[in-house]
Amino acid sequence: MKSIILASHNKHKVREINEILKESNCLNTPVIHGLEYLNFYDEIPETSETIAENAVQKARYIYDLFKVDCFAEDTGLQIPGLQGEPGVRSARYAGEIRNADDNINLVLEKMKNHRDRSARFITVIALYYQNTLYTFEGICEGEITLQRSGTKGFGYDPIFKPIDATITFGQMTAPEKNQISHRKKALDKMIEFIQTNIDLFK
Ligand code: IMP
C-alpha cells in the first residue's frame, strides 16, 4: 500500500480524506499523511489568486522541498450574491487568525438581506507524481442557511446546506457528508486516475 503526503497541516482534511478513501473501496488505497509525517510545521505559502493555483502552489512547494509524491487540496466557498466571496479568501475571510466562527459570522452578516442564498464549495486537488502535475476538481452546490445548525464537520459546515439536503453539513455524520461533498467529488476523480494508472501506486 502506498502512502502519499497531503501538503496540509489541517487534521480535519487529513481525517476526512482518509475516511473517504477507505469508503471508496479503491484498489491499492493510499494512506494519506499530513505534513507532521515529514516533521514539517512551517506555513506553506498560499498567495495565489485562484483556488486551483493555490492547490498547485502548495503541492509544488512540498514537492520541491522534499521530492516526495504529494498532493494538496484547496477549498473555497463561493457565494454568487457576494460576488464570489469568500472564494480564495475563505480561510482568512474575517481576518488573518483564520477563525471559523468569525468567518461564519461575517458571511451571515453580509448575507442578512440577501434573497439569493445560493453557494457552492469548490475543491481542487493538485497531485505531483514524479514531477508531473495532475489536477482534479469537485463542486458541491447548495445554499447558505439563515443561521448555524449543527456542530459536526468544520469550517463553514454549520451554515452550508447542500442542494437536495434538508440539513447542513454541520448536522451530517461524516459518512453522510463524505458521500456528497466537494472533497469527495474531487477525490473520486483522483481515485479513478489512480486506478487507471495503477502502476504508479504499487
Ligand atoms: P483551505 O482549503 O484549507 O484553504 O480552506 C479554506 C477555508 O474553507 C477554511 O476556512 C476552511 O475551514 C474552509 N473549508 C474547507 N473545506 C471545508 C469543508 O469541507 N466544509 C466547510 N468549510 C471548509
Prediction pTM value? 0.92
How is residue 117 annotated by DSSP?
-
Grid cell of 95 as nine digits: 481576518
- Cell 442578512 belongs to residue: 112
| Protein residue with least CA distance to atom 10, ligand 1 | 91
Please state, in angstroms and as integers, the Cα–Cα distance from residue 148 to each residue in 98, 100, 193, following that order: 18, 12, 37
Catalytic residues: 74
Res 199: pLDDT: 61
Q: How long, in residues, is the chain? A: 202
Give the nearest ligand 1 atom to 98 CA.
10
| Chain centroid to CA 131 | 22
Cα 122 to averaged position of ligand 1 atoms, centre (Å) = 10
Residue 200's pLDDT is 55
User: Would the pLDDT of 111 be above 60?
Assistant: yes
Among the ranges given (77-86, 171-180, 186-195), the one the predictor scored with the smallest mean pLDDT:
186-195
Indicate which atom in ligand 1 lies nearest the CA of residue 74: 2
Predicted local confidence at residue 141, as pLDDT:
98
155 Cα to the center of ligand 1, angstroms: 5
How many A from CA of 75 to the centre of ligand 1?
5
Confidence at 202, pLDDT banded by 50, 70, 90: low
Mean pLDDT of 31-48: 94
Whole-number pLDDT of residue 27? 64
Residue 5 makes CB contacts below 8 A (sequence gap 6+) with 32, 33, 34, 35, 37, 38, 62, 66, 68, 69, 70, 71
Q: Are 121 and 130 within 8 A, CB to CB?
A: no
| Cα first-last separation, the chain | 7
Which of 90, 93, 123, 145 maximizes ligand 1 atoms within 8 Å of its Cβ, making it the mutation to test the pocket?
Answer: 90
Confidence of residue 189 (pLDDT cuts 50, 70, 90): very high
**What single DSSP character describes residue 151?**
S
> 1 falls in which pLDDT band (50, 70, 90)?
low
Task: Name every residue whose Cβ is closer than 8 Å to that of residue 16 and which is 6 or more positions away in sequence.
Answer: 174, 177, 178, 183
The answer on pLDDT for 71 being more than 90 is yes
Amino acid letter at 101? Answer: D
Report pLDDT for 198: 58
Other C-beta atoms lying within 10 Å of the C-beta of residue 137: 15
Question: Tens digit of pLDDT for each residue in 155-173?
Answer: 999 999 999 999 999 999 9
Closest CA to ligand 1's atom 6: 91
Answer whether residue 101 shows pLDDT above 70: yes
CATH value of 3-201 in 3.30.1330.10, 3.30.1300.30, 3.20.10.10, 3.90.950.10 = 3.90.950.10
Measured in degrees and rounded to the nearest 5, phi and psi for residue 11 equal -65, -30
Measured distance CA(88)–CA(121) in Å, rounded? 11
Q: Which residues surround ligand 1 with Cβ inside 6 Å?
A: 10, 74-76, 90-91, 100, 103, 153-157, 169, 181, 183
Task: Report CA(202)–ligand 1 centroid distance (Å).
Answer: 31
